[in-house]
Structure 1
Amino acid sequence: MPLTFILDPPVDRALRDGLVTLWTEVSDAGGAVGFVPPANPDDVRAELVKHLVSMAEGRTRLLVGVDEEGAVAAAVFLTLNTHRLMRHWLWLYTVMVHPLHQGKGYGRDLMDAAAGAARGIEGIEAIRLTCRGGTGVDRFYESCGYKEVGRVPDAIRVAPGDDRDDITMLLPLH
């Protein structure tokens, strides 16, 4: 059964807890979403608060995918640029699909829904995102139409002796 995607859902305790659980479990499954396993839910919650503040200030939008039971199964943050010369594109941050739902096409559905949401924002012409090298996720984003436009070697230190490239990707929306 497909996920139902909601842009700018009402933020309540259930959503916050669902996002922390999703983020923690994606991290613990090896997802490159800002933490390494084992992710501490308190650290995840603190990072989520930063996104929630940005949402309250109108700088970030949240797209959530819920399963048939209403549980948070996927999410991505769309962050607008505030710089006057870069307001024509936005960033995607923290692209996540719950490990139980991976392999069902929900990642592609999430990316399609994010592109649709971005197209609905006046003046947005492209989406940028970054991803961690060595995970293969850049190939997934390429299959969704993104092109690699930059790479910083060894910019992400996952652990001592384990440095990964920071890859920037772009999806033009026109």
Structure 2
Amino acid sequence: MALTFELDPKFDRSVRDGIAELWSDVSNAGGAVGFVPPVTAEDVRPELVKHLVSMAEGRTRILVGYDEDGSIAATAFLTHNTHRLMAHWLWIYTVMVHPRHQGRGYGRDLMAAAADAARTIDGIEAIRLTCRGGTGADRFYGACGYKEVGRVPGAIRVSDGDDRDDVIMLLPLG
């Protein structure tokens, strides 16, 4: 069964807590979403608050995917550029699909829904993202139509002696 996507759902406690749980579960499963396991929902909550502040300021929108039980199973944050010369593209951050839903094509569905959502925003011509090298994420995003446009070697320090490339990718929406 496919996920149901909603752009900018009513943000209440259940959505907030569902995203925090999703984020910790994805992190603990090895997902490259800004943390190294083990983490709890409380550990990720300060980062979620940063996204919420940006949402309240109108700079970020959230796309949420719900599974057949109505649980939050996927998210992506679409963030406008604050630089006036780069307002024609936006960032996508914290792209997550719950580990129990991996391998069902939901990641591709999420990325397609994010591109569709971005197309509804006036003046947006492309989506840009970064991902952690060495995880296969760049291959996944490539399969979703993104092109690698840059790479910063060793920019992400996962732990002592484990530095990863920061891979920059772009999806033109035209």
**TM class by shorter-chain length?**
over 0.9
The yes-or-no answer on 1:68 pairing with 2:68 is yes
Name the residue aligned to 1:58. 58
Name the residue aligned to 2:117. 117
Q: 2:30 and 2:94 mapped to 1: Cα distance?
A: 13
Q: How many residues align?
A: 174
Q: 1:45 and 1:82 mapped to 2: Cα distance?
A: 24
After the TM superposition, which parts of structure 1 deviate over 3 Å for at least 4 consecutive aligned residues? Answer: none
Alignment of 1:146-165 (within 5 A): 146-165=146-165
Name the residue aligned to 2:86. 86
Alignment of 1:158-173 (within 5 A): 158-173=158-173
| 1:66-117 Cα shifts (integer Å, max 9, x gaps) | 0111100000000001111000000000000000001000000000000000
Q: 1:65 and 1:40 mapped to 2: Cα distance?
A: 21
TM-score for the superposition, normalised by structure 1:
0.99
Aligned-partner SS, 1:38? coil
The answer for unaligned runs of 5 or more in structure 1 is none
Q: 1:98 and 1:40 mapped to 2: Cα distance?
A: 15
Alignment of 1:4-15 (within 5 A): 4-15=4-15
Q: Which stretch shows the higher mean deviation, 58-67 or 43-52?
A: 43-52
Name the residue aligned to 1:45. 45
1:41 Cα offset (Å): 2.1
Alignment of 1:100-139 (within 5 A): 100-139=100-139
1:43 Cα offset (Å): 2.2
Q: 2:47 and 2:40 mapped to 1: Cα distance?
A: 11
The one-letter code sitting in structure 1 at the alignment partner of 2:95 is V
Q: 1:105 and 1:10 mapped to 2: Cα distance?
A: 26
Q: 1:43 and 1:25 mapped to 2: Cα distance?
A: 12
Name the residue aligned to 2:25. 25
The answer for unaligned runs of 5 or more in structure 2 is none
Aligned-partner SS, 1:50? helix
Aligned-partner SS, 1:47? helix
Q: 1:78 and 1:157 mapped to 2: Cα distance?
A: 25
Q: 2:41 and 2:17 mapped to 1: Cα distance?
A: 10
Q: 1:94 and 1:83 mapped to 2: Cα distance?
A: 21
Aligned-partner SS, 1:85? helix
The one-letter code sitting in structure 1 at the alignment partner of 2:167 is I
Aligned-partner SS, 2:86? coil
| 1:104-160 Cα shifts (integer Å, max 9, x gaps) | 000000000000000000000000000000001100000000000000000000000
| Cα-Cα RMSD | 0.5
The one-letter code sitting in structure 1 at the alignment partner of 2:107 is G
The one-letter code sitting in structure 2 at the alignment partner of 1:41 is A
